[in-house]
Amino acid sequence: MASVTLITKEQIQARVADMGRQIAADYARQQNPIVLCVLKGAVFFCSDLMRAINIDMALDFIQVSSYGNEKYSSGVVTVLKEPQLDMHGRPVLIVEDIIDSGLSMREVFRYIESRGASMVRTATFLDKPKARKVEFKADYVGFSIEPQFVVGYGLDYAERYRNIPEIQVLSD
């Protein structure tokens, strides 16, 4: 498999710092906000993003699955790991690595709303607006990209390449 760099480490660092500043400003007056990291892909982005947010935010995790080991979404979203914190009356920021078809984010969003969160917002490192199967607009977007298969910075192909510290395009 061949790969080319799409987004460098330096571009990632600069963009995540900007997003962190913006989120800190937006959440400065919110009570007890929670960052909800969507496992596993968002772990790298979420960890960098939280360190770029200079206000106190709790951290929790959810895991859903739609892709398995395939390149394309099966369309069925299952909750594999539930969050542990009580979300009732608290603002929740869902943090994803990528929004593709929109199915995962739509389901996570609905699920968190159903847990009684006072406000649900979403942050995604990458957005592929042209790949949507369902409409979904994130509140915070790192980079918008074309519908190409990307790996690195948490994103995998069949559990490989997550630890590449930049975003690369994978081709056959």
Q: Helix axis angle, 43-51 relative to 9-27, nearest 10°?
A: 60
> Does 99 contact ligand PRP by CB under 6 A?
yes
Q: Name the active-site residue from 48, 97, 100, 127.
A: 100
In the complex, what is the shortest distance from the CB of residue 116 to ligand PRP, in angstroms, rounded to a whole number? 23
Q: Is 100 a catalytic residue?
A: yes
Q: Give the C-alpha distances (Å, rounded to integers) separating 99 from 66, 95, 138, 167.
A: 12, 10, 8, 15
Position 141, amino acid: V
In the complex, what is the shortest distance from the CB of residue 75 to ligand PRP, in angstroms, rounded to a whole number? 9
150: Cβ contacts below 8 Å, ≥ 6 apart: 6, 98, 126, 167, 168, 169, 170
Q: Are 57 and 123 in contact (CB under 8 A)?
A: no
Segment interacting with ligand PRP (CB under 6 A) among 11-19, 101-109, 113-121, 138-146? 101-109
Q: Which of 7, 19, 53, 96 binds ligand PRP (CB under 6 A)?
A: 96
Q: Which of 12, 19, 36, 38 binds ligand PRP (CB under 6 A)?
A: 38
**Site for ligand PRP, rule CB under 6 A:** 38-41, 65-67, 73, 96-105, 156
- The set of catalytic residues is 100
